[in-house]
Amino acid sequence: MTSFQPADPRFEARVRASYARQAMMRTLGATLERVAPGEVDIRLPFRDHLTQQHGFLHAGAMTTVVDSACGYAALTLMPAGAAVLTVEFKVNLMAPAKGEAIVARGRVLKAGRTLMTCAGDAFAVEGGEERLVATMLATVMVVQGRAGMAD
């Protein structure tokens, strides 16, 4: 695993402050669990109102959480005043998602000046055991100097 050095020593506070403004994460009930340089974990409790017709977590809810984990992993490496936006992602759904919670782990694979390549995995948690249910590869764009975008 690559060891990244954050450009902003206050990266964790910036990530947590930005996450606190995420209405979608509040709506889903997802919580920010871990923040480290180039890495973020988000937990989504399994709740019936987030399921699809077969009782599994809806892929849209899971994808949203993994996307946010990747985006916030990228934000940990940004200088103060910079922000990130996802420009593309691909998701492989590997198994039906059911359990006590889903943990999404986003990590930066390559940090560029304009684009960052990130990977994210979603694990269904049941009885302390984790099972991989989805994986994502994402491209995140660095955004600087846009009104309303800075953290």
Render pLDDT for 109-128 as a digit per residue (tens, 0 to 9): 999 999 999 999 999 999 99
Let me know if residue 56 belongs to a domain: yes
Nearest to 33 by CA among 42, 25, 24: 42
Let me know if residue 137 belongs to a domain: yes
Residue 149: pLDDT over 70? no
Q: How far apart are CA 115 and CA 97, in angstroms?
A: 30
Let me know if residue 6 belongs to a domain: no
CATH number at residue 131: 3.10.129.10
Q: Confirm whether pTM is higher than 0.85.
A: yes
Domains identified in the chain, total number: 1
Q: How far apart are CA 95 and CA 35, in angstroms?
A: 26
Q: How far apart are CA 34 and CA 31, in angstroms?
A: 9
pLDDT number for residue 148: 52
Render pLDDT for 82-91 as a digit per residue (tens, 0 to 9): 999 999 999 9
Question: Strands, DSSP E only, in 46-114?
Answer: 82-93, 101-111
Query: Per the structure block, which two tokens stand in for 114?
Result: 């304009």
Residue 2: pLDDT over 90? no
Grade residue 145 by pLDDT with cuts at 50, 70 and 90.
confident
Render pLDDT for 16-26 as a digit per residue (tens, 0 to 9): 999 999 999 99
Let me know if residue 1 belongs to a domain: no
pLDDT number for residue 70: 98
Query: Per the structure block, which two tokens stand in for 151?
Result: 């953290």
User: Domain range for residue 50?
Assistant: 11-144
